[in-house]
Structure 1
């Protein structure tokens, strides 16, 4: 074992952190071997860098995480020729912005790795993640109704040139269809108002990060540019925080509205 081997192996564990925190999941190919074994617990076992990256991309997206930070320390490395074992302690921090304010989840544990020397340098062939503690974050026992209390509504309207309204509504329907799998959109409705050129808007969002991600989508940016060309004006949009969400039982109607 040389000090250079130890330094390179520690650098691999640090590179993993940067890949997750910058959401550069393609960089995980510089961390793991092409055929690896990564055990994150709870039956989350992955066998390639691409699968690991896809897993984290989905988890961070579904949970609406705005920022995350992974830190590693206290490395112990043992090198035996072209193989090595390593363990280190980690802390990970996840920040989510909701209408109720910032929510932070902190997790601590250990990465236990088996590594192999490759022509491209040291790579992790097997990783076992052991979680020792967790603070904050969503309450897993909370009901879906209670969790929806962090949702918010953006509603109101705007106007366009009357002769362009039908085109605007059709383009909006096409955009919504293209984004139907986008997480975080709970409701999305843009309809014609009775006034010529007037448009009504009702949208409901799971979190602030979901709305920001939606607005930053290149397809949404193109749609906003088209709205400007259609004479977009007189925006009357307001934001409403959802406090408690329950079914509305309306007399004489056979359904819950």
Structure 2
């Protein structure tokens, strides 16, 4: 009887440890997804870069057209730096995270609303995108990292011409930093 009870507790301990790891993984994955938004909005490029594996698959085709790309992380960060600093402010909100975890691989689908403000215009000075991200992540020695980022824009409001103005301004900012 004692052996059975002890094995029962061991089974529960193993189940509890498994559940704890699942919850810890979910929190860590959501932290990386939120870090993505925080790094972009703060223009903290080291923080932003740290969200990704060394090579990342990017699919923003629902927003910008084109085809999905596989890029070195530094190339991806440079592309983002070629746009976002041209806005006076951005705010990327991430919510409703749904996780699928299988060992050292995971997917996190999250809603997004991204506000982009450009003050130096006589036209409407904002553009807002809404939709969701599907991020594929892998567990690395440094923790969970995004290996694929897919953006699906399902709605938009405001002035989409601001993206071109912001890209022009960001190019001037980057040129001044070199």
Smaller-chain TM-score range?
0.7 to 0.9
Q: Name which structure has the greater RCO, CA cutoff 8 Å, separation 6+.
A: 2
8 Å contact 1:32–1:48 — kept in the other structure? no
Q: State the partner residue of 1:125.
A: 147
Tell me how large the CA RMSD over aligned residues is.
Answer: 2.8
Query: What is the aligned length?
Result: 149
Q: State the partner residue of 1:94.
A: 116
* Greater share of helix: 2
The structure number with the bigger radius of gyration is 1
* 1:103–1:117 CA distance, 2 compared to 1 (3 A): same
Structure 1 residue 102 displacement after superposition: 6.2
Q: State the partner residue of 1:56.
A: 80
CA distance in 1, matches of 2:108, 2:23: 14
* 1:51–1:8 CA distance, 2 compared to 1 (3 A): same
CA distance in 1, matches of 2:24, 2:52: 19
TM-score, structure 2 normalization: 0.73
CA distance in 1, matches of 2:78, 2:53: 16
Q: Secondary structure at the match of 2:118?
A: strand
CA distance in 2, matches of 1:71, 1:99: 24
CA distance in 1, matches of 2:70, 2:114: 20
2:33 pairs with 1:26: no
Task: Could you tell me which runs of 5 or more consecutive residues in structure 1 were left unpaired when the two chains were aligned.
Answer: 141-146, 148-182, 185-208, 219-257
Q: Secondary structure at the match of 1:2?
A: helix
Task: Could you tell me which runs of 5 or more consecutive residues in structure 2 were left unpaired when the two chains were aligned.
Answer: 1-20
Q: Secondary structure at the match of 1:47?
A: strand
